[in-house]
Amino acid sequence: DTQTQTHRQTDTQTDRHRQTDTDRHTDQRWQKQNLLGGGNKYSKNTCKNVTFRTVDPHVCCHLPDKGLTRSLKLSPTSPAFRPYRGRSSKPIFVQIAKQVVNLNPTELRLPSRAWKVKLVGEGADDAGGVFDDTITEMCQELQSGVVDLLVHTPNSFADVGSNTDRFLLNPAALSEDHMVQFRFLGILMAVAIRTKKPLDLHLAPWVWKQLCSMPLGGPDLEEVDLLTYRNLLVPVVPGGQNISLTFVNRTEYVERALDYRLHEMDSQVAAVREGMSTIIPVPLLSLLTAQQLEQLVCGLPEVSVDMLKKLVRYRDITESQQLISWFWQSLEEFTNEERVLFLRFVSGRSRLPSNPADITQKFQIIKVDRPINGLPTAQTCFFLLRLPPYTSQAILAERLRYSIHNCPSIDMDNYMLTHNTDPADSHQQGDECIFSDAMHYMH
């Protein structure tokens, strides 16, 4: 559908070439007429979401049979990092990227999780929780500088204007390895849309606009680089450093300078779109606004207590009991940053989808018969929290805070498998037994 593919394209030749190159690799199964049948039954936004998530269902009816390895001992952001002579650090993002880009794209178009993660030297098998935790680890690496694909906005460095907490694609990341990693970033974004498991990424609106092929202008540059006109040092015409800026040529200078800055990330954006195109119909991204695409990929940054209450299921305890009242009171008193840590503690994820209907797994709370005022434990593969009895709400809040701050990731050895498994949950062990137990780190 040519009209769909060219919708909202920019007027510059660079943008036209960029989108054409990506769309040329898009399989015929992505054609609009094959995707939007019966769309009049849905609202516009629902129809768009269904379109991206129901493509080619025949390849999405089985669990992943591809296992990827992850080693925390090689990740420089992990507390388990063990550098030694002859071996360099290798971020989890890089470890997984090298494996995923060699897979057949049809094997990644799954509705729950796109691959299984085999943990090297860790005591857990992947039944979903390890996949979620690995995605969260990779997002943290991207935004911590360990992987150099993203950079803070210039406004962040200058501490002026808006989007000071946001990231842009790194225009200096141009090597072949960088392009492979950008394609993998696109795969991650598309997998997040397909699986309804958001990524914890804080990208500037500029990036989402480019991914949707929306035109950029001066206001977009101002949102990320308020001081650009005062600090522009790159010659924008041949021999520009030898040409004096005059009243006569001022218009050409501003136009060329603006065009340079607005398109300095085109290669990186094209690589991300190419990765996305292996999983979802990239031409149809032009149907979305930048905000809609960001919500599909990243959900909402705020962890809503009300949403968690709608998802909860109690076991061996009722909503009316004091322990549950204390728990929700504690969660409501937490800052959003603490609620994000809590969500990762119990699920492996850092964000919830923007639409509650996209959350297919219930949040479970179990009362366990353990020593009073002990530390809570969690099983990420089942979105499950175990609470021992407490003598006050303050102690419950303190123990919960300690756990979420001191156990940000899954158990790193077999301690939990042998020391902290409830017999009542033996039927759930199956493929995975992942515990987030802060008590382990006290030994």
pLDDT, tens only, 259-300: 888 889 999 999 999 999 999 999 989 999 999 999 999 998
Is 221 contained in some domain? no
Identify whether residues 371 and 250 lie together within a single domain.
no
- Identify the pLDDT of residue 134: 85
Identify whether residues 22 and 168 lie together within a single domain.
yes
Among 25-29, 260-264, 355-359, which stretch is predicted with the lowest mean pLDDT?
25-29
Higher-pLDDT residue of 51 and 334 is 334
Task: Give the CATH number for residue 370.
Answer: 3.30.2410.10
pLDDT, tens only, 227-250: 875 655 455 566 666 666 666 666
300, β-bridge pairs? 352
Residue 378 contacts residue 333 (beta carbons within 8 Å):
no
Last residue of one domain, picked from the residues 273, 298, 323 = 298
Segment 31-54 mean pLDDT: 45
Widest Cα–Cα separation across the chain: 82
Among 189-198, 241-250, 320-329, which stretch is predicted with the lowest mean pLDDT?
241-250
Is 81 contained in some domain? yes
- Identify the pLDDT of residue 317: 93
Is 222 contained in some domain? no
* Domain containing residue 319: 305-442
Model confidence at 213: pLDDT above 50: yes
Closest CA to 269 of 166, 173, 195: 173
Tell me how many domains the chain contains.
Answer: 3
Task: Give the CATH number for residue 117.
Answer: 3.90.1750.10
Question: For residue 397, what are its two tokens?
Answer: 């809040």
Identify whether residues 319 and 387 lie together within a single domain.
yes
pLDDT, tens only, 103-118: 888 888 877 766 766 6
Is 57 contained in some domain? yes
Identify whether residues 256 and 369 lie together within a single domain.
no
pLDDT, tens only, 298-322: 998 899 999 999 999 999 999 999 9
Identify whether residues 82 and 115 lie together within a single domain.
yes
- Residues identified as active-site: 381
Identify whether residues 19 and 109 lie together within a single domain.
yes
Identify whether residues 369 and 331 lie together within a single domain.
yes
Rounded to two decimals, the pTM is 0.73
Q: For residue 40, how many other CB atoms are within 10 A of its CB?
A: 7
Identify whether residues 65 and 149 lie together within a single domain.
yes
Identify whether residues 271 and 349 lie together within a single domain.
no
Segment 310-336 mean pLDDT: 95
Residue type at position 217: G
Identify whether residues 56 and 139 lie together within a single domain.
yes
pLDDT, tens only, 57-104: 444 444 444 455 555 555 555 555 455 444 456 888 998 898 888 888
Last residue of one domain, picked from the residues 247, 276, 298 = 298
Identify whether residues 246 and 362 lie together within a single domain.
no
Is 281 contained in some domain? yes
Last residue of one domain, picked from the residues 260, 284, 313 = 260
pLDDT band at 125 (very low <50, low <70, confident <90, very high): low
Identify whether residues 150 and 294 lie together within a single domain.
yes
- Identify the pLDDT of residue 109: 82
Is 204 contained in some domain? yes
